[in-house]
Each structure stands twice: as C-alpha cells, then as structure tokens.
C-alpha cells in the first residue's frame, strides 16, 4: 500500500485494507463497521470498479446538518496510482440509511472514475463533458449526477439487500 503514502488518503488508524480479485482496493478506517466495509466491497464488485480504484471510507459525526455523506475524488493516474476516492458517511444516521447512502456515494465514485463527473473547482462541476456549472444555481435534485446517483444507488442498494 505504499502508493497511498504522500497522498490525501494517509489514514493513521487503518482498520483493514483489502483488494478484491481484479477489483477495487478498499480502505476502511476504525470508524467503519466491518459489515459496512463488506457492503462497500460488494458494491465495488457490482459496479466493476477495478484495481486502479482506491476507495477510502470513513464515518464522521461532524457533517453539516442534512448531509448524509459525500464523495471526493483525485485522479493520480498520471503518477501510476490510479483513481483515489474518499467517501465519508454520516455516523449519526441509522445503519440502513448508511448502507443506502454508501450505495449513492459509490455511484458518484463510478461517475468520477469514468470521467463523466468532473469537479472543476469548489462548487463547480462538469457533467458528461459539458461546461463547468456553479452548483449554487442548480438545485440539488436537478443535478443530473444526483438524479443518476439516486436512481442507480437505490438499485444497487436493493440488489445488495435482496
Ligand atoms: Zn449525491
């Protein structure tokens, strides 16, 4: 895991790190229940995220009101390190909600990895290679990447819970 040193994903309390066969590398810190990390693995497999995708998952008790989770992305492919993704889930919501939020955030991870969603600067995103839009002017539920994440995230969640 030396590729992660010098990156935004240095976690000093690694709970466990796992590589799926031909799959994404998942790094869960101690705040993440094992059960949730296992669900993340399952989602990564269903989404066919490959070994060039590093996903660091953590839980937070300090997210702003109304925020259940978020996904940050850094493309370090030019350094041979692949795609690095940080997913943070709200620790204060119940487990079923957390698993559902995780599915939603994993769809964003896939959108970033595929280059369909690009963060241009703080609060500005480009979708499907379109112009960078200031999300201040685009209500949350009207953002195409959110519409997709809700639809496909729910499908992913139900595929898992079936
Ligand atoms: Zn979202």
pLDDT tens per residue across span 17-66: 666 667 888 888 888 888 898 899 899 999 999 888 999 999 999 999 99
- Pairing between β-strand 53-60 and β-strand 83-90 as defined by DSSP bridges: parallel
For the record, the structure tokens of 50 come out as 């490959």
Question: Is residue 143 helix, strand or coil?
Answer: coil
pTM of the predicted structure, to 2 decimals: 0.87
Integer Cα distance of 46 and 84 in angstroms:
18
CATH of the structural domain 2-161, one choice from 3.40.390, 3.90.1690, 3.30.2450, 3.10.260: 3.40.390
Give the separation between CA 51 and CA 102, rounded to whole angstroms. 19
- pLDDT tens figures, 84-138: 999 999 999 999 999 999 999 999 999 999 999 999 999 999 999 999 999 999 9
Phi, psi of 7 (to 5 degrees): -110, 180
Asked if 129 and 120 count as a contact pair (C-beta separation under 8 A), the reply is: no
Rounded to the nearest angstrom, the distance between the alpha carbon of 116 and the centre of ligand 1 is: 14
Between the CA of 2 and the centroid of ligand 1 the distance, in Å, is 30
Q: Where are the alpha helices (DSSP H) in the chain?
A: 34-46, 95-113, 144-161
Q: Sketch the domain layout of the chain as residue ranges.
A: 2-161
Cα of 51 vs centre of ligand 1, distance in Å, is 23
Distance of CA 69 from the midpoint of ligand 1 (Å): 8
CA 105 to ligand 1 center in whole angstroms: 6
Q: How far is the CA of 109 from the centre of ligand 1 (A)?
A: 10
């Amino acid at each position: 895991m030396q590729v992660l040193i010098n990156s935004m994903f240095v976690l000093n309390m690694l709970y466990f790190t796992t590589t799926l066969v031909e799959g994404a590398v998942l790094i869960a810190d101690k705040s993440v229940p094992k059960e949730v990390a296992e669900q993340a693995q399952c989602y990564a497999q269903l989404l066919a995220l490959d070994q060039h995708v590093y996903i660091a998952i953590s839980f937070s008790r300090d997210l702003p009101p109304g925020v259940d989770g978020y996904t940050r992305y850094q493309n370090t492919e030019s350094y041979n390190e692949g795609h690095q993704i940080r997913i943070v889930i709200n620790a204060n919501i119940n487990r079923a909600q957390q698993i559902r939020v995780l599915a939603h955030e994993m769809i964003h991870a896939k959108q970033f990895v595929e280059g369909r969603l690009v963060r241009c600067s703080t609060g500005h995103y480009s979708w499907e290679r379109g112009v960078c839009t200031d999300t201040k002017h685009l209500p949350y539920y009207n953002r195409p990447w959110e519409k997709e994440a809700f639809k496909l995230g729910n499908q992913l969640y139900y595929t898992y819970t079936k």
